[in-house]
Amino acid sequence: MTNHNINFDEDLAMLEYYQAVGVNLAVEEKTIDRFADAKNNIENHKENNKQHTTPENKANISNIISQKKISQENVPQENITQQAKDLARSAKNLSELEELMKGFDGCTLKKRATQIVFCDGNPKSDIMIIGEAPSRDDDIEGKPFVGRSGQLLDRMLKAIGLDRSKVYITNIVAWRPPGNRNPTASEIASCLPFLHRQIELIKPKIILTLGAPAAHTIFSCKTPISKLRGKWQQFELNNLSIKTLDNLSIKTLATFHPTFLLRQPAQKAQAWQDLLTLKTALDELTNNA
């Protein structure tokens, strides 16, 4: 390894980069032959079995296996989704739903996340904002949209007379994907019943989705976000999850994710048009109240 003296800031920047891209172990200075270690472990295991395996031992091992909790990695996705639906169905309010989700192990993202990122804002709001997944900053703080993209979202909301006290904010998945990648279909499926239950409990009059993954999840489509954005659609929550309330039909608008706008500032003009479309609908709600 090349000797190079780096200062504290460089060390910290390097560690933050490794964390962001999903590195979770260090490489040692001296190489280790893991294949040789594995071979030795197998030989030792065989030798131990020869010495200790008896009919009584076999019975004990069988009992341990039968009593051991089955890993979620071996459970079919439809079973995990059903488990999520059952848990979500039992929640009478948002606090119960959050606690149930904290104890839910069906989403593999939970294993590497710092904590759950459930929601922020006003649960009594008529407006529900649904993003994609927690960022690194969200994972640390435990709230959605607290980093650079969150600061941009706050400015976007302020431009049409809103702030976090007037909206409810959540994501389609509640744990941060490693390296800020998009959540997979199975990760979304594991969290979706909890999102549907949030919608049922909040009963918003308007939903705003941020980014392609959120729009695709809500609208059950793969249409590019450039074609989805700016057009009102009805989100029908009937038979999608758990049927605990009357069917809901909610006016829904898709727009770009703030993170995308930070990378592509030229698209802010289109996002501004979407915000104006949202403001017009909000004004209509106020006038009809």
Here the CATH number for the domain that contains residue 278 is 3.40.470.10
DSSP single-letter state for residue 179: G
**In contact, 173 and 217? CB cutoff 8 Å:** no
Residue 35 placed within a domain: no
**pLDDT value of position 78:** 87
pLDDT at 193 over 80: yes
**In contact, 125 and 168? CB cutoff 8 Å:** yes
Residue 139 placed within a domain: yes
- Could you tell me which residue, 12 or 254, shows the higher pLDDT? 254
Q: List b or e across 245-275, with b for residues whose CB sees 16 or more CB atoms inside 10 angstroms.
A: eeebebbbbbbbbbbbbeeeeebbebbeebb
How many angstroms separate the CA atoms of 211 and 230, rounded? Answer: 12
Report DSSP letters for 51-102, one per residue.
HH--HHHHHHHHHHHHHSPPPGGGS-HHHHHHHHHHHHHH-SSHHHHHHHHH
Domain with 119 in it: 77-288
Q: Token pair of 14, please?
A: 């390097």
Q: Token pair of 91, please?
A: 């929640």
How many angstroms separate the CA atoms of 87 and 101, rounded? Answer: 8
**In contact, 170 and 129? CB cutoff 8 Å:** yes
How many angstroms separate the CA atoms of 71 and 259, rounded? Answer: 35
Total domains present in the chain: 1
Alpha helices in 125-263 (DSSP H): 136-141, 148-159, 185-202, 212-219, 225-228, 258-263
Residue 206 placed within a domain: yes
To the nearest whole percent, how much of the chain has pLDDT over 90?
A: 66
pLDDT at 186 over 50: yes
**pLDDT value of position 47:** 59
Residue 62 placed within a domain: no
**pLDDT value of position 115:** 97
For β-strands 168-171 and 120-121, DSSP reports them as antiparallel
pLDDT band at 53 (very low <50, low <70, confident <90, very high): very low
How many angstroms separate the CA atoms of 142 and 135, rounded? Answer: 10
**pLDDT value of position 66:** 40
The single-letter code of the amino acid at 266 is A
Residue 15 placed within a domain: no
How many angstroms separate the CA atoms of 39 and 153, rounded? Answer: 54
Residue 178 placed within a domain: yes
pLDDT band at 284 (very low <50, low <70, confident <90, very high): very high
How many angstroms separate the CA atoms of 285 and 289, rounded? Answer: 6
Residue 146 placed within a domain: yes
Residue 42 placed within a domain: no
Name, in order, each residue with C-beta under 8 angstroms of 19's C-beta and a sequence gap of 6 or more: 136
**pLDDT value of position 87:** 94
Q: What angle do CA 198, 203, 208 make, to 5 degrees?
A: 80
Question: Which helix (H) or strand (E) element contains residue 9?
Answer: helix 8-20
DSSP single-letter state for residue 39: H
The single-letter code of the amino acid at 189 is A
